[in-house]
Structure 1
């Protein structure tokens, strides 16, 4: 029976001995099945325990076809196994999972939002709420209520019941099974079916901190941490803050203002740089236009957007100009063709010849075209083809 499993009988138990029922292999991974176990298998959003059996590392624990498989680094080759779990990992999972129960109930109480899924990750925990309209004030209210329940150090009760014994009116969410239903109850707060491991009191969760939220397909994902993870997150953020304070050379309390000044200065520099680049491009365009009516220029590693600007500017600088530009960017050879306002040649004709030569794609109008493709042709060879297409 489920309730006879050692991890349910005592979630604080870390060591045990059990007979080995059988050993096997799955996808090249050896595993052992025991008569009973302290190792919790992955399930209900809670990850599996790790540890050792007979000194051999247990890397994963899964329930398959009613049996718990302990995947090990090498076969046990034994009739009896002595096991010990990684208690730090187990207790962390107990804190995070219980924190999820508390926070989920808090969102129901303070915002009327149900949790539809739960994920316990290595660094943070998340729940998905059935709403896309959550605001910061609701996050704060739920976090405050959750920490009140934690500080009250309420007893956490686990109880095995059947469907007939359930108080369906108090259930937080429906339960699919009818026999061996395990309830995790926080008196006068939460009444829920759960197969995870939990501490004896809410106070053992320590504290709960919401890290943020994000919209996820008409739902809201809330990220949070509990217990020792709160201290770990605080330590990481404090290290980042210290580094930022050193880089900005401002007191910690002036960090926000220092960042604002830095962003303003950066935007100003970006604007100045863009203006300088435009001026340089205009000078380059005028220089090309001054070289003659038909302009041919080859380049390497320049964006097609930059070539478009250059082509248009050169065509505008001389009314009868024909501007033919080509650029090699890695395997791709791209082109731009533009004409001045008084030129009569068709740039579509140029594009047709260039695309046939490169086997690429492109298009445009009678006055301006662009395109390119993967071809071994050089930029100079492509320019010659383009010029020939209009009799130059």
Structure 2
């Protein structure tokens, strides 16, 4: 059986060992080692990656107490040098230790037990046995958990027997009855856990609680620890700096400046809508005035109007004439067909019957239908065809 070096120390980064077996499966090649510091997937913690004999480790799993390492190919020798991806490992150590400390704080402050833990690639979450958690409580927990970090409390791990375990104030009893590993945070908690952890709370760095939300009868708290929290802080500082430059103001006044900008944008949108409404009215009258006598349909091709504007123009036109209205947008390769309701045909039915011949997709009601086309040629061909049907 493989000797699990990650139980001796989570800080082992490289070592020499012997390949003891190779296993070929449908999903790839696996190998076992005499000793390994590669942590396998389990307990909410992702597996380690790195290299064995210079070959990438793709996955690490635990089966029947044996650690299997999935590799791209087998090394050419049995004696190999192993190297842990330390950035990934230490990140997992910070997040996992941070979770233990955070869970202990929630239990102490609000008697809220942690019912599940997930360590993702971007953030970690815990689900608490709570019905709700206020913003004030979230802030209080964040202050307290970071105070525990500043105290730099020792984090140790060790194996105990079932008899020894019975004497410990465990947060939760483990499912196993032998090889029971305890992770202890000095003066805070004893927890049965097989994961990798930092040596003291100070190495967690900091914990930032991002949000809390209700989740299937519990409260889910999303958080970042250590390097992840620092990276998020740097991202936020960069965004704030860019906003300060963009709005030509200090960071303290950014929100006020954004509020004023939003008001300005609302006024501009209102003014633009009024101008477009007026222009549509002018264009509608011009189109009606320029129609050829005896025409059975009012048509128009717009070079720059989007579909939404064509629909608005169609509404203006059908209020002024009982003729069907056919409009085409060159900007979006889209067509609109409308009528006032007095016509004896359905716009939606017409599109449904003929769009397929021109690779068009769309539909609508009796009074209004719209469609899009993959190319201008298809859109124009349909437009010309539809003109001839009225």
- Shorter-chain TM-score: which interval? 0.7 to 0.9
SS at match of 1:310: helix
Determine if the alignment matches structure 1 residue 207 to structure 2 residue 206: yes
Task: Measure, in 2, the Cα distance between the counterparts of 1:23 and 1:141.
Answer: 52
Contact 1:147/1:208 (<8 A) preserved? yes
Indicate how the Cα distance of structure 1 residues 346 and 96 shifts in structure 2: closer, same or farther if over 3 A, else same.
same
- Equivalence for 2:315: 312
Contact in 2 for aligned 1:327/1:333 (Cα 8 Å): yes
CA shift for structure 1 position 224: 2.1
**Alpha-carbon contact 1:289-1:321 (below 8 Å) kept:** no
1:70 aligns with 2:42: no
1:297 corresponds to 2:299: yes
SS at 2:76 equivalent: coil
User: Could you state the TM-score of these two structures normalised by the residue count of structure 1?
Assistant: 0.81
User: C-alpha distance in 1, partners of 2:4/2:332?
Assistant: 63
Structure 2, unaligned runs of 5 or more? none
Residue 390 (structure 1) aligns with: none
Relative to structure 1, the CA distance from residue 332 to residue 154 in structure 2 (aligned partners, 3 Å threshold; closer, same or farther) is same
Using the alignment, how far apart are the partners of 2:52 and 2:314 within structure 1?
72
Tell me the CA shift for residue 32 of structure 1.
2.5
How far apart, in 1, do the equivalents of 2:363 and 2:167 lie?
65
Q: How many residues align?
A: 377
CA distance in 2, matches of 1:309, 1:198: 63
> Aligned residue for 2:382?
378
Q: Deviations over 1:307-353 (max 9, x none)?
A: 3322221122x3x532322436899864422228xxx43343x5544
In 2, distance between residues paired with 1:116 and 1:332?
A: 54
Aligned twin of 1:345? 343
- State the Cα deviation string for residues 225-276 of structure 1 (Å, max 9, x = none): 2223333333332222222222222123222222222222222222222222
* Residues 51, 369 of structure 1: alpha-carbon distance in 2 compared, 3 angstrom cutoff: closer
Distance 1:164 1:277, change over 3 A: farther
**Contact 1:355 1:372 (8 Å CA) reproduced:** no
Q: Which residue of 1 aligns with 2:355?
A: 358
Separation in 2, partners of 1:20, 1:121? 31
* 2:156 is aligned with 1:157: yes
Deviation at 1:140, TM superposition (A): 0.6
In the TM superposition, structure 1's runs of 4+ consecutive aligned residues that sit over 6 Å from their partners are 328-333
Counterpart CA distance in 1 for 2:233 and 2:368 is 56
Please identify, of 125-134 and 138-147, the stretch whose mean Cα deviation from structure 2 is larger: 125-134
The 1:323/1:114 distance shift into structure 2, 3 A limit, reads: farther
Secondary structure of residue in 2 paired with 1:119: strand
Give the superposed CA RMSD.
3.4
Counterparts of 1:272 and 1:162, CA distance in 2: 77
CA offsets, 1:173-200, max 9 Å, x none?
Answer: 4533333232222255333221101123
The question of 1:6 aligning with 2:5 is answered: yes
Structure 1: stretches of 5+ with no match in the other structure: 388-392
Contact 2:324–2:343, Cα closer than 8 Å, also in 1: no
Q: CA deviation at 1:112?
A: 4.0
**1:378 is paired with a residue of what secondary structure?**
helix
